[in-house]
């Protein structure tokens, strides 16, 4: 199909099945996704708080507005713009944000390829689950890169081929049975569900669906997005970095760094870990996905437009002079047992809790001024920052 035909087919799918199908609420959405919080995302990328919070954010391929709604509520000083191909899905996004009071947002029916039509630049661009559904992802990422402000960051999510191997097989099976009816998405959902119902419970495709996807795929919108999508390009580390390199942007890092720690896979073989240190960073990433393919169903990462710098707090003098703030992406504060930015349970020691409490009460004191009050060590402060519980900025 031509690029336009693919774009039209994708728009038709989402007109038929607006996605994501999360319920509309008459209140702000629950919890947070730290990747959509400007301060948290920038701190992760630059190792320091941003100087400004009154920024412009672009949600590129916003769908039904689930992420857009969070972007508005998590960034109360930002201007947010959402674009998408599907008019039907955009209507859901507008209603979602209206009902929850997400007022600082504008929506526009627009392709990623036409992002140049948007005025100005953006300090944060969010593009989740979109590029792999375009006919030309390189052209799409380049169009977005042109709208990223110098020093700005871009958050991207694309599919991984190894962790979605069974999905790809089912997509092809549904397409074969549909034949000339391919493009009738309701028929595709019906065919797919009948296949799953007919296959033995021991079938690999059935087992993978039940283990990984079935909870969300009971909704037809999710099933259609996964199994009858008219356009999907899946990546591996090598092709992923071809896409990244073509953007002209700087790779900052994966936003799920623990997944990419080779130590979790080869901890029982320290000699192999030592040998792996001779590999390039990209080769080590490739090794992780080869050894643990089921865990890599997608890639979620940040890019930055130069000039972009990362603060270094490794020197004690620099850290002592920094001003810390408690992360706003935690659930359960002021308890000493809470959820961190990734909704993992954290048990704070007494010194850690006291340190965060002082950060909350007075956001002008330096680390050096707070340490005696909390009885916490510098390494303890570094541990809090590594867990994204503390944000740092240089004293002016």
Residue 210: DSSP 8-state = I
Q: What percent of the chain has pLDDT over 70?
A: 100
Residue 325 burial (10 A CB sphere; 0-12, 13-18, 19+): middle
Superfamily of domain 3-161+234-304: Vaccinia Virus protein VP39 (3.40.50.150)
User: For 58-79, what is the mean pLDDT?
Assistant: 98
What whole-number distance in Å separates Cα of residue 115 and Cα of residue 122? 11
Render pLDDT for 194-229 as a digit per residue (tens, 0 to 9): 999 999 999 999 999 999 999 999 999 999 999 999
pLDDT of residue 1: 79
pTM: 0.97
What whole-number distance in Å separates Cα of residue 206 and Cα of residue 179? 22
pLDDT of residue 313: 96
End-to-end, the C-alpha distance of the chain in Å comes to 56
What whole-number distance in Å separates Cα of residue 393 and Cα of residue 50? 8
Six-digit token string for 330:
């935690």
pLDDT of residue 264: 96
Own/partner pairs for 207-211, CB < 8 Å, 24+ apart?
Answer: 208/166, 208/167, 209/166, 209/170
What whole-number distance in Å separates Cα of residue 128 and Cα of residue 225? 14
SS3 category, 58 = strand
Q: Is 76 a residue whose pLDDT tops 90?
A: yes
Q: What percent of the chain has pLDDT over 90?
A: 98
Read out DSSP for 234-281?
Answer: -B-HHHHHHHHHHHTPEEEEES-GGGG-THHHHTT-HHHHHHHTTS-H
Q: Is 363 a residue whose pLDDT tops 90?
A: no
pLDDT of residue 362: 83
Render pLDDT for 290-343 as a digit per residue (tens, 0 to 9): 999 999 999 999 999 999 999 999 999 999 999 999 999 999 999 999 999 999
- CB distance 231 to 133 below 8 Å: yes
Average pLDDT, the chain: 97
User: For 171-182, what is the mean pLDDT?
Assistant: 97
Task: Give domain limits for the chain.
Answer: 3-161+234-304, 165-227, 316-394
- CB distance 165 to 308 below 8 Å: no
């Amino acid at each position: 199909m031509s690029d336009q035909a693919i774009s039209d087919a994708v728009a038709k799918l989402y007109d038929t099945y607006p996605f994501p199908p999360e319920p509309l609420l008459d209140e702000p959405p629950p919890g947070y996704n730290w990747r959509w919080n400007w301060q948290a995302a920038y701190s992760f990328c630059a190792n320091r708080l941003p100087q400004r919070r009154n920024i412009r954010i672009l949600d590129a391929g916003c769908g039904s507005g689930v992420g857009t709604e969070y972007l508005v509520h998590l960034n109360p000083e930002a201007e947010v713009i959402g674009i998408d191909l599907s008019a039907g899905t955009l209507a859901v996004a507008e209603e979602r944000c209206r009902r929850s009071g997400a007022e600082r947002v504008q929506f526009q029916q627009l392709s990623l390829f036409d992002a140049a039509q948007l005025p100005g630049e953006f300090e944060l661009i969010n593009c989740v689950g979109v590029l792999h559904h375009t006919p030309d992802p390189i052209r799409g990422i380049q169009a977005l890169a042109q709208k990223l402000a110098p020093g700005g960051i871009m958050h991207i999510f694309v599919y991984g081929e190894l962790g979605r191997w069974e999905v790809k097989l089912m997509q092809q099976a549904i397409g074969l049975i549909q034949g000339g009816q391919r493009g009738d998405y309701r028929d595709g959902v019906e065919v797919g569900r009948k296949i799953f119902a007919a296959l033995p419970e021991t079938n690999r495709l059935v087992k993978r669906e039940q283990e990984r996807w079935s909870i969300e795929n009971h909704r037809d919108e999710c099933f259609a997005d996964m199994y009858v999508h008219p356009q999907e390009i899946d990546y591996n580390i090598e092709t992923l970095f071809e896409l990244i390199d073509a953007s002209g942007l700087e790779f900052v890092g994966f936003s799920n760094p623990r997944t990419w720690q080779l130590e979790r896979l080869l901890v029982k073989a320290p000699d192999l870990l030592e040998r792996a240190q001779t590999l390039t960073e990209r080769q080590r990433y490739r090794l992780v996905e080869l050894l643990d393919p089921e865990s890599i169903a997608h890639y979620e990462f940040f890019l930055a437009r130069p000039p972009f710098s990362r603060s270094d707090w490794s020197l004690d003098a620099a850290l002592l002079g920094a001003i810390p703030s408690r992360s706003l992406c935690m659930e359960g504060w002021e308890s000493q047992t809470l959820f961190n930015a990734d909704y993992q349970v954290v048990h704070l020691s007494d010194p850690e809790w006291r340190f965060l409490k002082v950060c909350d009460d007075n956001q002008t004191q330096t680390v050096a001024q707070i340490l005696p009050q909390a009885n916490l060590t510098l390494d303890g402060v570094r541990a809090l920052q590594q867990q994204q519980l503390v944000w740092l900025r240089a004293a002016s």
